[in-house]
Chains A and B, each alone.
Chain A
């Protein structure tokens, strides 16, 4: 056999990636509207937002006049209108998830609190956009549109008040904190509702003109839960409350408001019907927030990833300039030119930060694009069900059983070569919008919580790494790139719009969906194929890690612990949550590899890239993929091994489980999988049989009789890490040579 070796000298990174690269990788090279809103958002972020942070505007909980200057900037730059439908003054046609994600990404590059402020209006409008009546959409979206030339009106701002309970009052987040009753209901007139709600941690409250609030009926004449729109001029109490003393995201206004208002029933979002004398909202609050949060959580995940990528340039500049100005240090010397970049550790850690930022961004933008693609099918499904009179969650689930079965068939056909499959049947299924609806829904249900969970959770850890690379400078207000603030802010991103446990809980359910798993299996095949064509990406290692995860999941689904209790079950978070965490690593790395392939495929058509630099970008990003694949594989291997072995009781000298200890024959067999195993086992076994009491460090040897299949996969995975550290060395070397700007393009 001949082993092909790749030369170690290859084109590498020359400059930091610019818009040409990102537009291709994140798939908006042909969307000029999105490219413009990106530029707009960037100018606001690196202009007024950066000035506010640099001036210390974050150093108060209050919403100041200075902070308020962000709103006109958002209005003038199109950021506000980007979230509105074109018929109400917006300019982005079609789904806007990718566009709004990019807006948040650009703003968070400087300050995530500002990004939050820009998004909250969309969050407040979200229930109305998703489920509102025509009248509600017209009123509130038109009110939020920035004034046109010649207009003097002030645009409305909104806030979104969900369920945050006041701490220590005996409720949990599953209980709605607001009540609604019928205040007055005159025959032939519209009912008037009394809404009482205390909100906590409600963003935008300092300026909100209206609030979309989740409430629960406290009156037999009104059924279930709903969301209502509250206006500041409604009769009653519209108390914005005290500013929340949060430590982070100080460029977003957060209060604990109190509402006790009388509003017409027409403010119920999505409308209502009267059935047997009872007001029945058309949508429960759950129906609405599911539709809203499913989208907005992605942007939060991307905010943390933006901050990771934003850290690269300031860290490189700091590393290189670390010793300059010192006595006797001459320009041109390695110490002068490279500074801390002479040290491998500093470079390797920065490679890890960059790779994590890439993977998180890839996962986030893939999810945003998925929501854009899914949205037309959601509309089609709703229209079809409305035509057929299918309402209510259970009825819809029943109606989707057949499409789900067909979707599995569709996915099976999709994985076959066109020449070998039944093309007539495939075309028939492909034309069914409900098939596409359920296929993409199964993905969205996994990718969205994965993005929110992994990007923010792991991202926070990596931001701490970035801060540490700046030394003491990192935790000062003067740190270039505001890295200290970005690190602290990330903790809130991991928490708001559903904390990590909520995302893990959702994942632990949605990742078991057969439709998702069918696609996951196909992804393994795809990664093997990519691994054959582009082995340097580490795609093959990723495929092996994905197989290990799948095997572990299937094993845990059927296995029981030492006490005979089922392992993969709803309340067993010790099993389900780590497995969800492991999946996130795989999903993010897969998206990262796919983005690099997109760059390699489409880059040559870009004159700016083809003219020089493309090969270097592709090689560098490929190395980052390999680095990250190795990290993901390590995490997956560790988690899976712990779950597979950890619920078997360890044998002890005096217990009945001695029979579970390794026999010589089995040890020999295992030696095939793990060379050297038999020697250890033999030594341990001898100690076990000859000694009445064990010597130190020679406990009874565990038999892995039931898990040889796992061992084989785990061992294979270890071998798959071949070359990952060489990739890391190459990426580190590239960091010493990449050309960076003379200065950061925003003040610090």
Chain B
């Protein structure tokens, strides 16, 4: 049996993707129209990382999970009403912007500092989890920068699977081109694992888990430290949504096999 892991998941909130996301220029730089009032969800990639972390902690007795998050604490509190119900974790809150326009280096510094300040964290047993990308700040470098600042050199990006070998080594599958995986073996923590989608379904909400989590989450939210990160000195000439291409057909009662065949044909083409 492997020694317990200390798993730190970095992740924050993003506007609910179903909402109308309209870029606007504000006093603090680019933002979204009515951003403070839009409902938020946990960044989907960070969500995968969190669920994988909880699953790993369940398998390896004694492991602990922290979610380190940078975002407006009032919105994080709303988010916790959902996320805290899914899996057990402890929350570390940095009260600041979750804007997709914040500079990744500043964000990484803030996160790394917060991680270093977690009481009882064993850096030798640290697995740093997060998303390999983000729905809001998709430069895809934040987690790597946090790892660098924490001095973690073993970094795995686009992870879809993590196995623990009998000797405690990490068996990691990373996505590479062409639907193939790169298989790595990491003898021991610490390591950075930036998750793609993983393979776990989103856990059901369970208010009983939530009530247990909230005993520690609410005090953390109340004493959250304000953090200033942003885009000072950066000027954006234009900001626009990624162009969308939708060739949608609405067809009823198509067998799953036919749909799969069409997807394969599309991939081959």
* A-to-B contact residues, CB < 8 Å: 14-15, 18-20, 32-33, 35-40, 43, 73, 76-78, 81-82, 91, 606-609, 611-613, 739-743, 745
Contacts and interface: CB of A to CB of B under 8 A. Distances in A.
Given A32-B81, A36-B211, A606 B20 contact: no
Nearest to A32: B214
A608 B208 CA distance: 26
Contacts of B36: 607-609, 611-613
Given A36-B81, A612-B36, A745 B205 contact: no
Contacts of B218: 32
B78 interface: yes
A40 B85 CA distance: 8
19 contacts: A15-B34, A15-B37, A15-B38, A18-B39, A19-B78, A19-B81, A32-B218, A33-B207, A36-B207, A36-B211, A39-B82, A40-B206, A76-B205, A77-B205, A78-B85, A608-B78, A739-B19, A742-B18, A742-B19
Interface in B1-37: 16, 18-20, 22, 33-34, 36-37
B74 A78 contact: no
Contact of A39 (B22, B34, B205): B205
Contacts of B131: none
B230 interface: no
Given A35-B81, A612-B34, A607 B205 contact: no
B78 A739 contact: no
A741 B18 contact: yes
B211 A741 contact: no
A78 B208 contact: yes
A609 B77 CA distance: 13
B204 interface: yes
A612 B38 CA distance: 11
Q: How large is the interface on B (under 10, 10 to 19, 20 to 34, 35 or more residues)?
A: 20 to 34
B105 interface: no
A608 B81 contact: no
Interface in B80-94: 81-82, 84-85
Contacts of B73: 607
Nearest to B204: A76
B111 to A, nearest CB: 22
Contacts of A77: 204-207
Most A CB contacts (10 A, CB to CB) among B37, B74, B218 go to: B37
Nearest to B214: A32
A616 to B, nearest CB: 9
B18 A91 contact: no
Contacts of A14: 34, 37
Nearest to B19: A741
A525 B19 CA distance: 43
Contacts of B85: 36, 39-40, 78
B37 A91 contact: no
Nearest to A40: B205
B208 A740 contact: no
Contacts of A613: 34, 36-37
Given A33-B211, A82-B207, A740-B20, A607 B72 contact: yes
Contacts of B38: 15, 18
Contacts of A741: 16, 18-20
Interface in B45-80: 72-75, 78
Given A91-B211, A608-B37, A741-B20, A36 B205 contact: yes
